[in-house]
Structure 1
Amino acid sequence: MNTLSWTSPWLLAVLLPVVAVLGAWLQRVWTARSTRARRKLPDHWPLGLRSVVNSEEARVWHWLARAFYDHHIMIKMPVTRFTLPREKQESMDWYKLLGGVYCTFTICRADGRVVGCVDVPGTAGIPRSTRAVKHSLLSQCHVPYWVVRSNGLPTVAEIRGEFLGESPMSQAMREREMEERAIIAAQNSLRTAIHRQRTSRGHSDFGPLSNWPSSQAGEPRSDLPSQWQDNSFLAPLDSRRGDLL
């Protein structure tokens, strides 16, 4: 009895650390397995598609697409995507601070340079602190920042003048240039359609008129066959002279 009482404290002193280490190791193994289980790709993702913009944002988006037809409209792009810290060693700190700050729409040129940012407030509006951060940051980067609602849109001349520095006269000339390009594009499309139609007609059952029998002797010779082509009834009016030409 005395021997058991004498060895028990020593036995407990040896077993307790072993049990503690074993318990810590089992806890670590269980945590690692749980982490791997969470990282495992699911067979069925519990996610679905949704629109990147709501109805209010969509109306402003479509208007911006018409106003900045010669630019690219980026949707909900974070400001860290087009800003750069002056000190490289501070980049991670600024990224953590500004990584969640974005504008609803960012207008940029074809070379990727940002010319302006537009926010569309929701029903609760934009928090004053968030708005102040965006305004302060973007203004120091010389990037205009506007808050726009679909029921109070500015004129195209106003926003292009602010974002691009265009004058009303240059905007009017640009709109006229767009109209002229649209007319030229329509004319080219019409010419292409006519040419395609004539080409397909040339491969139809109507053979070339040059195979028709020549006029009989003594009959007056007509100049009409010279005006016919293989793929149309008459040559285009601009290829033969008339009273109006």
Structure 2
Amino acid sequence: MTQFIIGIFIIVAGFLFYSITILREYERAVVFFLGRYQTVMGPGLIIIIPGVQQMVKVDLRTVVMDVPSQDVISRDNVSVKVNAVLYFRVFEPEKAIIQVENYQQATSQLAQTTLRSVLGQHELDDMLSERDKLNKAIQELLDKQTDAWGIKVSNVEIKHVDLDESMIRAIARQAEAERERRAKVIHAEGELQASEKLLQAADILSKQPQAIQLRYLQTMSDIASEDKSHTIVFPLPMDLIGPLQALLGQQLAKK
């Protein structure tokens, strides 16, 4: 009798050992009853009847997945290598197990093909300068396609766009030419503004002859103060020496 009780106890203990499972807060169990989907259990303590029920654990945490480097030909026929990082999580465990064989591998393969497809529709300049826009386009397309698998793609980030050496040199030459063009445009705009100011000054001076004389005397004073070791000869305009000649002629006439 004692051996029978011990045998029963061992059977019950073995049953409980194989039937009781503790799931963490981020885990769920997709339970099948005789091969058919039954329910989703967890978190906490769950009991599975061995031989009758089977379960598959699913992790609900966000998965960070590297998308391998892909060869992409842009719309302007430039060959580049692009890699990215993908953030996704399972929000419907039963779909992730039932609708696709291996949801992580399927998501990875889909991300690679989507990356090539989306980037191939854009030019190289867009890949280098508008990554946020491209990231959003890839994320929305992936999220729409993986929704049937119970997967939410929360973010996609393009990490690197690798170019060959010849393309790098071409881009450097283009950037240098652009800087030279901007410098010439700025210089030309400065010359235009200066010419407009000089034209305004000439108009004002032409209307006021006294201003021309004052400007002439100011220029003479500036030159004399800067260079005191040399003798500088200035031609005097006739309108300045005219009154002196008239005065001298009057003095000679009196004599």
Name the TM-score, length of structure 1 as normaliser.
0.25
**Is the radius of gyration larger for structure 1 or structure 2?**
2
Of Structure 1 and Structure 2, the greater strand share is in 2
TM-score (norm 2): 0.24
